[in-house]
Structure 1
């Protein structure tokens, strides 16, 4: 979009009712990225009359005032605009643009603003910037300078680099692939609309195979070799136990990991660690309450099947905490284990078979292949068993595994989710499906890639609020001030200085005999 077309767009939008203010603010940010560098470059040139520059700055401040719904919005938009102005000024100082170019761009900007036809007499934006639609149709493109180079690692003149350490091989490789795909769908969508302050978002990946022993090397590859700015979407609890300290020691963003473990949810929160999803404690608390209060099961009839590592421990601790919160004893909860990255569930099955009074429900804290194998080996023995899974299981992948065995293995299996049903028609789901179809044609929607997509979009909003002068501390400060973010999920998201988890919402789903997830009420 040309600068002058942007002017016309913002005028049209800001002449609409105040209910559209959120959209207006986004357009003003876009316009700031186009006006700011021109104003900044011109302000660094002594030969250019600074009164001309100040006149445009004053007009844009009026634009900001009318686009804002309150003082915080106005301050944020002003900061973004000032950042772009500084970016333009720095380009002149670094000899990346010259004053002749700055003068030509300023003149073109003045001509664009000068062709206004105010439709209102008041101090509305339509009276500040409101050219005729006929002029907009023929407006020439103004070539703007690209963003200035940065000395911040992972931030160049053209791109912002993020890294993901996840399993791209081994038994859990689909979790890594899906998470990466969701993030890249969001990044690609943002890049197609101008990126972030003119920079493209790029995701680098490293395979740790879901083995903590490999995670440190993966993190070093991303940080030391690929020179990433921050980390997004790392997969797993035991691997995050290695990756998170690596990021913290370097004061680098560790964002949106695919785990609900409490090691990433300290009180008060670690400054550089941000989570999108609800915790395992919240998921297991919700499902235990569902089993006890809605399904009317005695506590003694609930057992746990868990991975024998930090992930399984986190889920088991959540179940125990849920028991205590309900006034139930947690000392007698039966736990069946299996080893990470295997489908060796025979010992767990044998322990279950040896019980004189078997449980009626099993809370599963597993990955999709191990969970499917356990269900395969116990379904015929206990046809009325209730199986529940936390979201990390990989819902779509679990469904695929169970349907290969037959509909009776899938039917009734419960999975708690941290995103809405991917089969729905909410704004967020439709947007995600559209991006998936565009950038990864032929890929089926999944809960894991949807989570990656949502988490990445929250981060993209924060990056755009920071503007061109990006560094880690500015991004952290911005994230900690993001509240009431509405992506169309049915629940608003947000962070704070004492709250580094964007969502606490849990959705309930259960598989039918076609392998499709259906929504269920959990309370």
Structure 2
């Protein structure tokens, strides 16, 4: 058949259109892993809504509220986030059960913000074997970022507890070189981790520790431990307790009329949840290190992120306590997770979500202290490595000095 010029052009155009039609979908192809679709992204979580550290339950509730806010704003790249959060009661066996349910039954795209050193330790090997992103753990357990080759799918959020412990040790050596130190420490992975940082930081000055009193989560109180520590003659009290026991021990300082220098670890520094029940008068002069802004700090009243956070709390968590920094931590973590999902675009496979989480460079989650940013890579699984020293005065924490580095010894090597 002979082609005229007109039919040739028409044929060529038809062929070109067909080629574009075939190439277009391939070019814009969407990729989905478990838990992702055109309309939804399923994210899994567990926190202790019950049990001895149920005060941390507000972290999960805040995450849920944050994702509701994101969904009200249209979701992430047009997809709504379905946040599935279970109670593990701070029990490692329960955590394993909940992680299996989330991955094998709920088929979530990723685990996010799972809380607690013991619980995350219990699931880490399983989650990495399943190649599921295990992102922004609500724990500063050093092990979670220390060996990226063995645990390539695990990424913590908090600066490591070991680093925090070294910060306190360096502070003691610099400001209180002749102190006699008494230590209250939780007898679990968390307590051992931060206490190791303290001892490593003290180095040949570890003999400054004159008394230590461990306690178990099953203990009703730490009154007897506090009596023992005071009797040691120590003049510096290193409080490595979780919220319930930190409140008890701080209150006991007043009852015993014991006035040592008081260093309180970050996980128990909440004003509303810990220091108010303990009696603010008993917390005066306490020292801690933090990476989260205090929304109740009047010096941050005009901070844009603090204003946004207060608006969020008023709308989505009206019964929440602005004085409790756990709300701000949950908010910051959810902001980081949302950023990673946005960066993943339409490639919502587990592999790409993990790739995005390990490609952070200069991202600052909302409500993280000004000047702190996240940086990660395949060989760097510690996103945040700086802390701000704070002193408790009146009814709030006050920043003292600048932001200080908390780079881990593991990373230096």
Q: TM-score, normalised by structure 2?
A: 0.83
Alignment of 1:35-434 (within 5 A): 49=17, 85-87=28-30, 150=32, 152-176=33-57, 178-268=58-148, 270-294=151-175, 296-299=176-179, 301-324=180-203, 327-329=204-206, 334-355=211-232, 358-393=233-268, 395-396=270-271, 397-403=273-279, 407-423=280-296, 424-425=300-301, 426-434=303-311
1:98-144 per-residue CA deviation (whole Å, 9 max, x = no partner) reads xxxxxxxxxxxxxxxxxxxxxxxxxxxxxxxxxxxxxxxxxxxxxxx
Task: Report the 3-state secondary structure (helix = DSSP H, G, I; strand = E; otherwise coil) of the residue aligned with 1:265.
Answer: helix
Q: 1:309-337 CA deviation, whole Å, 9 max, x = no partner?
A: 1111011101011112xx52469563211
Q: Secondary structure at the match of 1:328?
A: helix
* Superposed displacement of residue 231, structure 1: 1.2
Query: 1:462 is matched with which residue: 314, 319, 340?
Result: 340
1:505 to 356, 369, 386: 386
- Answer yes or no: is the 8 Å Cα contact 2:162–2:196 preserved in 1: yes
The whole-number CA distance in structure 2 between the counterparts of 1:394 and 1:413 is 9
Q: 1:517 to 1:47 in 2, by over 3 A?
A: farther
Change (3 A) 1:329 1:374: closer
Counterpart position of 1:451: 329
Q: CA deviation at 1:48?
A: 8.9
**1:48/1:189 CA distance change after superposition, 3 Å:** farther
Gaps of 5+ in 1: 1-45, 58-81, 88-147
**Deviation readout 1:462-517 (Å, 9 max, x if unpaired):** 2112111211111111222220113464222221121112111212233333x322
Structure 1 position 432, deviation (Å): 2.3
Deviation at 1:265, TM superposition (A): 1.9
Q: Does the aligned pair in 1 maintain the 2:173–2:202 contact within 8 Å?
A: no
- Listed as ranges, the gaps of 5+ residues in structure 2 are 1-13, 405-413
Tell which has more relative contact order, 1 or 2 (C-alpha 8 A, sep 6+): 2
- Separation of aligned partners in 2, 1:182 and 1:502: 21
CA shift, 1:379, in A, is: 2.8
Range that drifts further, 504-513 or 256-265 = 504-513
Aligned residue pairs total 379
CA distance in 2, matches of 1:459, 1:84: 27
What is residue 3 of structure 2 aligned with on the other side? none
Between Structure 1 and Structure 2, the one with more strand by share is 2
CA 1:394–1:159 in structure 2 vs 1: closer, same or farther (change >3 Å)? farther
What is the CA-CA distance between 1:186 and the residue it aligns to?
Answer: 3.0
The CA distance in 1 between the partners of 2:27 and 2:293, in whole Å, is 37
Contact 1:399 1:511 in 2 (8 A): no
- Conserved? CA contact 1:305–1:335, under 8 Å: yes
| Cα distance in 1, alignment partners of residues 81 and 144 from structure 2 | 25
Structure that is richer in helix per residue: 1
1:379–1:385 contact (8 Å) kept in structure 2:
no
Residue 518 of structure 1 aligns with which residue? 398
Moved over 4 A (4+): 50-54, 330-333
